[in-house]
Amino acid sequence: MLVDNNSEAVFRNKVIKWLKKKNIQINYVKNKKFNSKIFSKRKTCFFIRNKINYGCGLGHNPGYDFCLKNDFKYIARIDNDMSLPNNLIFKLSNRLDKNNKIIALSPKVMFYHKPNLIWFRGATIGVNLKLQKQCASYDPGHLDDKVFKGLKKTDSLVGCASMMRVKSLKKVGLSDPDFFYGEEDIELSYRLLKQKVIYMWT
């Protein structure tokens, strides 16, 4: 699925051109339900286009809502500036399959041009006197080493790369539209934490 948050036509057309080159059928979503038989016939990209830039909070919600209404098992959110290693989506879903206590996962995120440096490997959430959620990432820019490998508990997912159970999102609700950019993942994680445990998989 691709959610286009009102990007410029030149970038949107590049994506559409790439999908066609890969012989991937584009199914423009006009309603909340789809024919599941489409999946078995051909590779399909469900395309949702927002009319305006709603920001990160509200902008992702049409995609989340589509997955909820169609009873998907997991939702993986991958932002457009991410480069994924092979089989990452499968590996994340496999982790969730094997452990029902985990409701959501984020992978360790590295700097693209400096792949030995960590950009994100988990976070803690604090609440100040005004009840505003605050998040402090663990040592961004730290060199990767064995200390940061394995399954670790974290308070917050990273918005650019995460996977969660659809049933968990259904319980807590969609992203808060009041968070335009940069905090929507923290706020959603804060609600998810009240259910069970969130993990980093590094």
Is the domain of 77 the same as that of 39? Answer: no
Q: Which residues contact 11 (CB under 8 A, 6 or more apart)?
A: none
Distance from C-alpha of 133 to C-alpha of 186, rounded to nearest angstrom: 7
- Count of domains for the chain: 2
61 within a domain of the structure (yes/no): no
- The string of pLDDT tens digits covering residues 84-125 is 888 899 999 999 999 888 899 999 888 888 888 888 888 777
Q: How many CA atoms lie within 13 A of 34 on its CB side?
A: 25
Whether 136 shows a pLDDT value over 50: the answer reads no
Please give the pLDDT value at position 131: 34
85 and 179 together in one domain: yes
9 domain residue, yes or no: yes
Q: 11-15, 72-76, 143-147 — which is least confidently predicted? A: 143-147
Does the residue 62 lie in any domain? no
Q: Sorting pLDDT into bands at 50, 70 and 90, what band is 202? A: low
Tens of pLDDT, residues 149-197: 778 888 888 889 999 999 999 999 999 888 888 788 888 988 888 877 6
Residue 36 lies in a domain: yes
Task: Identify whether 87 is part of a domain.
Answer: yes
Q: Are residues 80 and 168 in the same domain?
A: yes
Q: What is the mean pLDDT of residues 30-35?
A: 60
Q: Which domain holds residue 12?
A: 1-53
In a domain, 125, yes or no: yes
From 106, 118, 86, 117, select the one nearest 160 (Cα to Cα): 106
Q: Residue 147 gets which letter from DSSP?
A: G
**Would 145 be classed as within a structural domain?**
yes
The CATH number of whichever domain residue 164 belongs to comes to 3.90.550.10
Q: Is residue 133 in a domain?
A: yes
Residues 29 and 84 in one domain: no
pLDDT at 163: 94
Distance CA 142, CA 151 (A): 18
- Whether 36 and 76 share a structural domain: no
> β-strands 197-201, 25-28: how paired?
unpaired
Q: What is the mean pLDDT of residues 126-149?
A: 55
Average pLDDT over residues 3-8: 92
pLDDT exceeds cutoff 60 at 134: no
